[in-house]
């Protein structure tokens, strides 16, 4: 983690500055957990899978169709609450996803960590799988994760600009506030690095009409947060958006 604890001998101003830096770094590190909390099947879990979970992980479409015809439970859960659709999404087995949905599998279920397939694909920056899920009717509007976030917030956090574009077009809520009191626009600033990927992400959100006046728990708007971090291009984007 960046940011050192204040050392003895520093003046009052330096101590205060060091404390603020350390607390901000701690908060940012903790706030990265929403994306990191996703847990795909381990190698051991995958090896132990049977039935539809095994077929989904391997992309065995013929087996999926046979099991579906035999009335297997299309929404069966593994030990972490993952359905075969979740497993196929983690494994990027797009033919398996399509076969499961065509057979009647529910497309918007949450696993134990409260992630749906859309958020799983979004965090993985898997644009092709996300495109398929959305074309099959998956929702971009669900509240997901222990942080009461959305796929859009998770993607904005990570600077997955192409994913953000897809989710915005699919009607993802631009101004959803998670339980950290952050929107997608705020996360693009406070959890981004100010670089091209997060700039492109923020540009999409601004152009889509995200509310730039919503504030974090400390009363800061995205513009104030970008200024405090010296993110010049983000400041320009937010000032232009504010002027509209």
User: Do the Cβ atoms of 187 and 156 come closer than 8 Å?
Assistant: yes
Q: Reply yes or no on whether the pLDDT at 2 is more than 90.
A: no
Q: What are phi and psi of 149, to 5 degrees?
A: -100, -155
How far apart CA 102 and CA 19 sit, in angstroms, is 55
Give 45's contacts (C-beta < 8 A, 6+ positions apart). 78, 79, 80
Sequence length of the chain is 244
pLDDT on residue 37: 62
200 is a domain residue: yes
C-alpha distance from residue 35 to each of 149, 207, 215 (Å): 10, 25, 22
Signed CA dihedral, 115, 119, 123, 128: sign only: positive
Which range is least confidently modeled, 32-46, 105-119, 148-162? 32-46
User: Do the Cβ atoms of 107 and 142 come closer than 8 Å?
Assistant: no
pLDDT on residue 38: 83
Q: What is the pLDDT of residues 89-104, one digit of tens each?
A: 999 999 999 999 999 9
**What residue numbers bound the domain in which 189 lies?**
141-244
149 is a domain residue: yes
Q: What is the pLDDT of residues 154-183, one digit of tens each?
A: 999 999 999 999 999 999 999 999 999 999
**Higher pLDDT, residue 16 or 50:** 50
Which range is least confidently modeled, 30-39, 49-58, 168-177? 30-39
Percent of the chain with pLDDT over 90: 82
Count how many domains the chain has. 1
43 is a domain residue: no
Max alpha carbon distance in the chain (Å)? Answer: 74
Per DSSP (E only), the strands in 177-217 are none
109 is a domain residue: no
The domain spanning residue 240 has which CATH number?
1.25.40.20
197 is a domain residue: yes
With cut-offs at 50, 70 and 90, classify the pLDDT of residue 24.
very low
155 is a domain residue: yes
72 is a domain residue: no
Per DSSP (E only), the strands in the chain are none
102 is a domain residue: no
* Token representation of residue 178: 């998670």
* Token representation of residue 54: 């095994």
User: Do the Cβ atoms of 83 and 91 come closer than 8 Å?
Assistant: no
With cut-offs at 50, 70 and 90, classify the pLDDT of residue 28.
very low
How far apart CA 11 and CA 165 sit, in angstroms, is 47
């Amino acid at each position: 983690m960046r940011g050192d604890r204040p050392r003895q001998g520093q003046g009052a101003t330096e101590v205060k500055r060091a404390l603020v830096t350390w607390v901000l770094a701690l908060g940012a590190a903790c706030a990265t957990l929403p994306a990191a909390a996703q847990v795909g099947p381990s190698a051991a879990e995958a090896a132990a899978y049977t039935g539809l979970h095994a077929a989904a992980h391997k992309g065995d479409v013929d087996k999926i169709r046979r099991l579906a015809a035999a009335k297997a439970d299309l929404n069966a859960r593994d030990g972490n609450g993952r359905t075969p659709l979740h497993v196929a999404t983690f494994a990027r087995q797009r033919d398996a996803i399509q076969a499961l949905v065509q057979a009647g599998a529910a497309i918007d279920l949450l696993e134990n960590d409260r992630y749906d397939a859309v958020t799983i694909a979004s965090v993985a920056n898997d644009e092709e799988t996300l495109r398929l899920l959305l074309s099959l009717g998956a929702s971009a509007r669900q509240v997901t994760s222990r942080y009461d976030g959305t796929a859009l917030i998770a993607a904005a956090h990570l600077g997955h600009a192409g994913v953000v574009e897809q989710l915005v077009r699919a009607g993802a809520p631009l101004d959803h506030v998670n339980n950290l009191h952050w929107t997608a626009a705020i996360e693009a600033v406070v959890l981004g690095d100010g670089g091209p990927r997060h700039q492109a992400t923020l540009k999409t959100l601004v152009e889509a009409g995200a509310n730039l006046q919503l504030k974090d728990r400390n009363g800061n708007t995205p513009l104030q947060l970008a200024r405090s971090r010296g993110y010049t291009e983000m400041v320009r984007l937010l000032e232009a958006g504010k002027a509209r």
